[in-house]
Amino acid sequence: MPRHNLGELEQFLVLAILQLGGEGYGASIRAIILERAGRSITPGAIYPTLDRLEARGVLRSRVGDPTPERGGRARRHFRVTPAGLKEIRRSWSQTSALAAGLHALKARGGDV
């Protein structure tokens, strides 16, 4: 698998799935991102990105049972793979290294 940097939305999705205990479906992923990051992500943005992450081996999906209400649809559940966990750790490490100087700037009274 060629190594790609995770973009911001990709990071949000992977981190949200991890926050959900390692597995989540579209609506639960969107809800946790809204709750924790204050960002509203449309289904039109989330599902193609989840598909792309699955194609890259960062995520795996499975189709669950249909919801109990009449005409209920089966949910597609996503989980982070070991390779995905490695990617998010690498990506987060890079982001954290770049952001490390922000605290020092603020402490010195810098305008950030």
- Identify the CATH number of the domain in which residue 22 sits: 1.10.10.10
Residue 2 belongs to a domain: no
Residue 112 belongs to a domain: no
Residue 30 belongs to a domain: yes
Residue 1 belongs to a domain: no
Q: Domain count for the chain, please give it.
A: 1
Q: Are 77 and 61 in contact (CB under 8 A)?
A: yes
For residue range 37-84, list pLDDT tens digits in order.
Answer: 999 999 999 999 999 999 999 999 999 877 777 667 888 999 999 999
Residue 97 belongs to a domain: yes
Using only the alpha carbons of the chain, give its radius of gyration. Answer: 17
Residue 96 belongs to a domain: yes
Q: Which domain holds residue 22?
A: 8-107
Residue 73 belongs to a domain: yes
Residue 88 has pLDDT above 70, yes or no: yes
Q: Are 50 and 78 in contact (CB under 8 A)?
A: yes
Model pTM above 0.75: yes
Residue 95 belongs to a domain: yes
